[in-house]
Amino acid sequence: MLTLKRFATLAASYGADLDRWPEDIRGEANELLAASPEARALLEQARTLDTALVGNAVWQLGEQEAALVRLRIGVASRIADTAGLKPAQRPSWRLDLRWLGMAAGSGLAVAAGLAIGVLDVPAASSPDIVQIMFQPAPIDILAE
């Protein structure tokens, strides 16, 4: 049986949205809400803070996608380094990666890839520059 004290503790932690509460206790929480004005008041108090917490976006539109592109490139490069690939087999990183990321975020990822080099892209699949860079096969890179 969910007590009012435990209900208050959960509201203090998880706020007013019962979807955040432990799944096995939501049924009892709803029952208590139906029966107890104190429980309803606790939830309303929690809701005021929940409202203030909305709007905490970290990435602006497109920025996260650009960051993911940079992440994939950066990881591919470091993994290639640890694999001991010969220089001719490794992707060239002379371009500033943040420029590449911003270009990707503005929808110019393909153009950026063409600026990096000529890649062996399978005809049947859409060109994924970073996926190619994860391949162990040698990659011909145009000099800057």
Partner 1 sequence: MVVRLTLGPSGAGRDRVARAVMDSPRLYGEASDPELLHWSAGGDRRAFGEVVTRHGPFALRVAARLVADTHTAEDLVQEAMVRAWSQAANFDPRRARFATWLYRIVVNLCIDHRRRVQPEPLPDNFDPVDTTPAADEALAASQRRAALAKALGDLPVRQRAAMTLVYDEGLSGAEAAQILGVSTKAVERLLARARGTLRGRLLAGGPGQEMEAC
The residues binding partner 1 (CB under 8 A) are 8-15, 20, 22-23, 45-46, 48-49, 52-53, 55-56, 58-59, 63-64, 67-68, 70-72, 74-76, 78-80, 82-83, 98, 130-131, 133-136
Q: Cβ of residue 109: shortest distance to partner 1, in angstroms? A: 14
Count how many Cα atoms sit within 13 Å of the Cα of residue 56 in the half-sphere of its side chain: 5
What CA–CA distance (Å, rounded) separates 40 from 140?
66
Of 55, 53, 56, 43, nearest to 15 by C-alpha is 43
**How far apart are CB 42 and partner 1 at their closest, in Å?**
9
Nearer to partner 1, 76 or 112 (CB): 76
> Of 89, 87, 72, 73, which is closest to residue 140 (Cα–Cα)?
89
Amino acid at 132: I
Q: Which is nearer to partner 1, 22 or 27 (CB)?
A: 22
Amino acid residing at 28: E
Residue 54 CB, shortest distance to partner 1, in Å, is 9
> How many C-alpha atoms does 37 have within 13 Å on its Cβ side?
0
Please give the Cα distance from 123 to 120 (Å, whole number): 9
Which strand (E) or helix (H) includes residue 104? helix 97-105
Q: Which is nearer to partner 1, 36 or 135 (CB)?
A: 135
In angstroms, give the least distance from the CB of 37 to partner 1.
17
Q: How far is the CB of 49 from partner 1 (least distance, A)?
A: 5
| Nearest residue (CB) to partner 1, 5 versus 94 | 5
Closer residue to partner 1 (CB): 30 or 135: 135
